[in-house]
């Protein structure tokens, strides 16, 4: 039997799903982006698998442990569940080529904009990449979309507004935040 392939929305974490805090290392500083739960519910209703893909080089730099990253993802999940939403899977890259912690020092293929977090999720969940989207606030997300062939939506939260200015992203869809990104996907989804 052929497994049915599902489309996914790959969502950046810092600055897109939660407020941007550089090298976030305290659960108390985790704050969902306004209307994030509503956005996720909307995308879920449209049939998308929701996958977070996040670079966490703070691990490689010795700012926090991998365990903390997992703990923060459980925290985010609980916060979302309070509002009836949830993420289907979290993928993170703990590496950095100039890591201070030896076992994380590597030129990996999962650190965005490299595609391996997305490709692993595709493998794990039978995701149809051709019908999937990437939402993020910064250049690695934008380039990840190029490297995986997915359409990209830039949010103005986090570094997004700055990135929009710098790049003058004329060919990229830019919206105010995650909720507006979900509304855009809903519109395009309806046209297809």
Residue of 9, 10, 15, 41 that binds Mg ion (CB under 5 A)? 15
Please identify the residue of the shown chain whose CB is closest to the bound Mg ion.
15
Q: Note the residue count of the chain.
A: 192
Q: Please list, in sequence order, all residues whose beta carbon lies within 8 angstroms of the beta carbon of residue 178, skipping any fewer than 6 positions away.
A: 11, 16, 17, 33, 35, 36, 39, 40, 135, 155, 157
Minimum CB distance to Zn ion, residue 99 (Å): 10
Binding residues among 106-165 for Zn ion as defined by CB under 5 A: 108, 110-111
Identify the sign of the CA torsion 140, 146, 150, 152.
Answer: positive
Is 141 a residue of the active site?
Answer: no
The stretch among 14-22, 66-74, 100-108, 162-170 that binds Mg ion (CB under 5 A) is 14-22
Residue of 7, 8, 14, 133 that binds Mg ion (CB under 5 A)? 14
Contact partner at residue 39 from Zn ion, Mg ion, none, CB < 5 to 8 Å by partner kind: none
Tokens coding 137? 């606030």
Asked if 180 interacts with Mg ion (CB under 5 A), we say: no
**106: number of CA atoms within 13 Å, CB side?**
11
- Secondary structure of 122-186 in the HEC alphabet? HHHHCECHHHCEEEECCHHHHHHHHHHCCCEEEECCCCHHHHHHHHCCCCCEEECCHHHHHHHHH
Q: Please list, in sequence order, all residues whose beta carbon lies within 8 angstroms of the beta carbon of residue 67, skipping any fewer than 6 positions away.
A: none
Is 26 a residue of the active site?
Answer: no
In the complex with Zn ion, the residue whose CB is nearer, 72 or 157, is 72
Binding residues among 56-95 for Zn ion as defined by CB under 5 A: 93, 95
The stretch among 6-14, 122-130, 168-176, 180-188 that binds Mg ion (CB under 5 A) is 6-14
Q: Which residues participate in catalysis according to the annotation?
A: 12, 14
Instruction: Give the binding site for Mg ion (CB under 5 A).
Output: 12, 14-15, 137-138, 158
């Amino acid at each position: 039997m052929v497994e049915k392939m599902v489309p996914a929305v790959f969502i950046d974490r810092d600055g897109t799903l939660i407020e941007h805090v550089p090298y976030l290392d305290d659960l108390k500083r985790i704050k969902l982006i306004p209307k994030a739960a509503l956005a996720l519910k909307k995308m879920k209703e449209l049939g998308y698998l929701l996958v977070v893909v996040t670079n966490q080089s703070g691990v490689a730099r010795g700012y926090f442990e991998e365990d903390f990253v997992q703990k923060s993802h459980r925290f985010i999940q609980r916060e979302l569940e309070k509002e009836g939403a949830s993420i289907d899977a979290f993928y993170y890259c703990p590496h950095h080529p100039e890591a201070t912690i030896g076992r994380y020092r590597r030129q990996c293929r999962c650190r965005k904009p490299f595609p391996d977090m997305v490709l692993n999720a595709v493998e794990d969940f039978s995701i149809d990449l051709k019908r999937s989207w990437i939402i993020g606030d910064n250049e690695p997300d934008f380039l990840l979309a190029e490297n995986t062939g997915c359409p990209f939506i830039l949010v103005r939260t986090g570094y997004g507004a700055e990135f929009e200015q710098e790049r003058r992203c004329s060919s990229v869809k830019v919206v105010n935040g995650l909720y507006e990104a979900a509304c855009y996907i809903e519109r395009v989804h309806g046209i297809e």
